[in-house]
């Protein structure tokens, strides 16, 4: 609802967004680095099971 957004605009300042391709090199790179076997996700979750 545009009227709700307009009425509350001062409470929620604009945020800068980005694309995965632009900042992180694309989804394939993210998958390999973060979610493939031995990736960051595995490192974070090891021992928490």
> Domains of the chain: which residue ranges?
17-49
Higher pLDDT, 22 or 46: 22
Res 46 pLDDT > 80: yes
Residue 48 has pLDDT above 80, yes or no: no
d(CA 37, CA 15): 33
Alpha carbons 27 and 21: distance in angstroms, whole number: 7
Contacts of 32 (CB under 8 A, 6+ apart): 39
Provide mean pLDDT across the span 28-44: 95
Question: Residue range 26-35: average pLDDT?
Answer: 96
pTM: 0.57
């Amino acid at each position: 609802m545009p009227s709700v957004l307009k009425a509350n605009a001062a409470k929620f300042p604009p945020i800068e967004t980005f694309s995965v391709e632009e900042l992180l090199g694309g989804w394939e790179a993210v998958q390999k680095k973060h979610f493939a076997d031995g990736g960051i996700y595995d490192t974070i979750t090891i021992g928490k099971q």
